Chains A and B, each alone.
Chain A
Amino acid sequence: MGNMRKMAITACSLFLAFGLAACGSDNNSSSDNKTNNSSGDTASNNASSNTSSNTSSNANASADKIDTSDFETITYVMLGDKPKNGQLEKVMDKINAIMKQKINAELQIKWVEWADWQTKYNLLLASGEPIDLITIGTDWLDTWGNAQRGAFLPLNDLLEKYAPETYSEIPQEDWEQSKFGKDIVLIPEDHYTQWVNHGLYYRGDWAKEFGITEPIKDFATFGKYLQGIKDNKKDVIPWDAAGAATTLYTGFAASETDNIELPISTGYVNAFYGKSYDDRYTVDSPIFNDQFIDFAKMTKSWGDAGYWREDVLNYKGDTRSELRAGQTGVDAHHTQTYKNLRVLMDKDQPGSELQMFSYSDTRNNLISMPITHGGTSVGAHSKHPERALMAYELIRQDKEIYQLMNYGIEGVQYEIKDGVRVRPAGYDEAKDGFYTDFWGGRVDKFEIPTDQDWSGIGDIYKKYDAIKKPFPYGKFVFDKSNVDPEMTAISQVLGEQMPAILAGKAGDPEKAVAALRDKLKAAGYDKVKDEIQKQLDAFKASEQG
């Protein structure tokens, strides 16, 4: 024991000593940061007070007065794997030549590769490294959460001066949706048309063969299509899904109820929805609707009928390539993917007439995408946020840079034929392929249509435009700090119960749904619901007040 005690003492004292040393150094550095920050704040305050005092006198001249005498390197964090064929460097050289000349800076893309991207993306923010520009997305990159943790620099005072065109291009309404509290923490990708509403893809030729001549508009008819495959196509698994399709849940909510999704993530699927577009300030949940039991019965009957594999929950195959190989008849994703896949299918399975049953088709329950699905923020510890915004302004407002960034070099990556972007003759994907994954502020005004997109997509857009309702929760940021553990518990319950229900593998549907509801209640569903309702009421008051 004597030895033990000595050891414990040495260990503890060592631990304390070094712990303290590390604390000390950490403290220093963080206090350094603090002072840096505060000085940065005062500087920007000064700047803003300068601008505000100047704006009255010479507002137009202020843009010319920006000091760019020091050459700066601006980093831009993007998600994706860096292209390795050397094309990226060539394009970046061109972009940076313009950047150097216009703002005396160069742009450097920092790739967060897909391998463990969540860890890397969040670590990058958590470590307090100086980041200039970074891709964000409120619905998939936990941007509000990160904003709450102080990851981004408030841009209120900087935008007008350093990104004036973007600042005026984005309407005040959209800026309101980019705020956390009072701070503008992101620049939204609000001028780019894309539809990421989900639906099921099916083969038009097969549907016709089974006597379904009208476009499919509901799950019941879709079930007939699946049965048709089962009956008529030997060796084809009607819907060879990999894992339980969460898409069915979204589909249920849009197709069988009037619920509209709230921007509150509860993991596997989102439990909390608004009651309907008209009654959007009332919390509701598709799970607690009566129709959900019927829906669970439907998935059970689909599963029992063998529309998907017995062990669908563990299957990891690639449904999309199976569809393209003619081995399955269904795939699920959103419209943006469809316009691409349709072209590929026309090539792979000529005459397949791939169609999309969009969930909004049933009862026109279609809400526009939040404008903060994509966007760009400035890191809290950025050393030169001013120049970063200027660089962003160029990417978004300079046609040449924009098209270089998104399409590459004309003549190498693309050619324009009758106003349509096509691949040049002799284009080799391995050698000439190029992408930047710039999802932080694409704009329609510089987009060129491409032959990679299905030409009929315009009609679908028109269909959507006729029924779409604006996304009503842009300015609603749920503060979950009061119910954080309950939210985590609810996510757990959903993750543990929902997949089996959606795959029809949870036994008796009525019992399974009842069990799910009980567990949700036990996990604090009501408490969270009340909290959301409280905040929605406040939101309603601010909207209407």
Chain B
Amino acid sequence: MEVVQKRIRTDGTSLFVRCFGYLFIGLFALCCLLPFLVVVGTSFTKEASIAKHGFNIWPREFSTFAYKIVFENPDLIIGSYVVSICLTVVGTLVGLFLVAMTGYALQRPDFEQRNGISFFIYFTTLFSGGIVPFYLLINQYLGLRDNYLAVLLPGLMSPFLIIMMKSFTRSIPHAITESAKIDGAGDFTIFMRLILPMTTPALATIGLFIALGYWNEWYNAMLFLSADMKYRPLQLFLYNVITSADFIRNSSAASNVPLRDMPLESMKMATAVVATGPVVLFYPFVQRYFIQGITVGAVKG
């Protein structure tokens, strides 16, 4: 690809676009980085200093107390990591397969029921039964209280991802499917053997979205995984740290709450760092597949 690029002369406009791109993207990325540095810096700042001077990239008074509290029980946080990683990996693999399969079927122009099923799926984004019936469903009817499945199952698919997949897959010419059919291949075989390998960029994207969904998920975990479970997803663990700190401080509603000492602001920041860290390391790994997508596209025609 790059070789091809170099052979073509780079005209002024293209050069300008490219320079502008570096500048704009660079600045924007910096805008995204700076607040995060503030988060990191503040997480290492002494609480009293935060109250006085506000947030800073470079801590005025250095302290690791917040991390000490977050990592008070290292086995708990490690366990939370393990749970989150397992949920993310299993959920992403299963979810990705199902989404891709459905997405492929739904874009086949010769699939008569595709519009009906699409509507059936899309409709659920508009209307939902609300929290009480959903809670009853998971807890009483499916009996998934304190079961990781209560977090895993609802996150497998979303209408958005299926429709995205459908749209991505559409860019593969239908002729490929047709010629394979003439060769006698079944629909499922075509999907597994031909389509899946051709959609790597799409799969990477959808997979990334599913994975992020699982990684950031805390609401279902909060509803269905009680404190009786020793290890719960990381985000819930951290969310609890943040909200209970908030609650204890604004405890005028519940005047019963005893005073417990906590480094409040710095701890919130520390939790953010702990929750984000691994993803920063993980993302470049996924990115490979985006780049790979180009070569697949090149071979395709």
Question: Do any beta carbons of A and B sit within 8 angstroms of each other in the complex?
Answer: yes
Question: Is residue A374 contacting chain B, with contact meaning CB distance below 8 A?
Answer: yes
Which A132-174 residues have C-beta < 8 A from chain B? 137, 140
Instruction: Please state if B48 and A327 are interface contacts (CB–CB under 8 Å).
Output: yes
Question: Is residue B264 contacting chain A, with contact meaning CB distance below 8 A?
Answer: yes
Which A53-85 residues have C-beta < 8 A from chain B? 79-82, 84-85
Instruction: Please state if B264 and A127 are interface contacts (CB–CB under 8 Å).
Output: no
Query: Using an 8 Å CB-CB cutoff, how does the interface string of B136-150 with A read, 1 for contact, 0 for none?
Result: 100111000000000
Q: How far is the CA of A428 from the CA of B120 in the complex (A)?
A: 58
Which residues of chain B are within 8 angstroms of A85 by Cβ–Cβ distance?
73
Instruction: Please state if B254 and A11 are interface contacts (CB–CB under 8 Å).
Output: no
Which residues of chain A are within 8 angstroms of B111 by Cβ–Cβ distance?
none
Instruction: Please state if A246 and B116 are interface contacts (CB–CB under 8 Å).
Output: no
Instruction: Please state if B135 and A127 are interface contacts (CB–CB under 8 Å).
Output: yes
Query: Using an 8 Å CB-CB cutoff, how does the interface string of A231-247 with B read, 1 for contact, 0 for none?
Result: 00001000010000011
Instruction: Please state if A127 and B132 are interface contacts (CB–CB under 8 Å).
Output: yes
**Which of A7, A111, A317, A320 interacts with B227 by CB under 8 Å?**
A111
Instruction: Please state if B253 and A318 are interface contacts (CB–CB under 8 Å).
Output: no
Chain B, interface residues (CB within 8 Å), range: 35 or more
Instruction: Please state if A7 and B115 are interface contacts (CB–CB under 8 Å).
Output: yes
Question: Is residue A336 contacting chain B, with contact meaning CB distance below 8 A?
Answer: yes
Given known A111-B226, A113-B240, contact A123–B132 (CB-CB < 8 A): yes
Question: Is residue B72 contacting chain A, with contact meaning CB distance below 8 A?
Answer: yes
Instruction: Please state if A321 and B244 are interface contacts (CB–CB under 8 Å).
Output: no
Q: How far is the CA of A169 from the CA of B301 in the complex (A)?
A: 87
B227's nearest neighbour on chain A, judged by CB, is A82
Instruction: Please state if A114 and B244 are interface contacts (CB–CB under 8 Å).
Output: yes
**Which of B48, B226, B244, B256 interacts with A439 by CB under 8 Å?**
B256
Q: How far is the CA of A80 from the CA of B72 in the complex (A)?
A: 18
Q: How far is the CA of A81 from the CA of B244 in the complex (A)?
A: 7
Q: How far is the CA of A435 from the CA of B257 in the complex (A)?
A: 11
**Which of B72, B223, B228, B248 interacts with A120 by CB under 8 Å?**
B223
Instruction: Please state if A115 and B51 are interface contacts (CB–CB under 8 Å).
Output: no
Which residues of chain A are within 8 angstroms of B248 by Cβ–Cβ distance?
114
Instruction: Please state if A110 and B222 are interface contacts (CB–CB under 8 Å).
Output: no
Minimum CB–CB distance for B269 against chain A, Å: 13
Query: Using an 8 Å CB-CB cutoff, how does the interface string of A337-370 with B read, 1 for contact, 0 for none?
Result: 1001100100000000000000000000000000
Given known A10-B120, A318-B51, A321-B48, contact A110–B259 (CB-CB < 8 A): no
Instruction: Please state if A113 and B255 are interface contacts (CB–CB under 8 Å).
Output: no
Question: Is residue A430 contacting chain B, with contact meaning CB distance below 8 A?
Answer: yes
Nearest 4 Cβ contacts at the A-B interface? A82-B227, A114-B244, A115-B243, A114-B247
Q: With A3-B115, A113-B222, A140-B254 given, name 18 new contacts (CB 8 A).
A: A7-B115, A7-B116, A11-B123, A79-B254, A85-B73, A114-B243, A116-B243, A127-B132, A127-B139, A137-B256, A240-B51, A321-B47, A322-B51, A325-B52, A333-B252, A333-B255, A373-B256, A374-B256
Q: Chain B: residues with CB nearer than 8 A to chain A?
A: 47-48, 50-52, 72-73, 76, 115-116, 119-120, 123, 131-132, 135-136, 139-141, 222-223, 226-228, 236, 239-240, 242-244, 246-249, 252-259, 264-265
Subset of 6 A-B contacts with CB under 8 Å: A7-B116, A25-B141, A82-B227, A137-B254, A318-B265, A373-B255
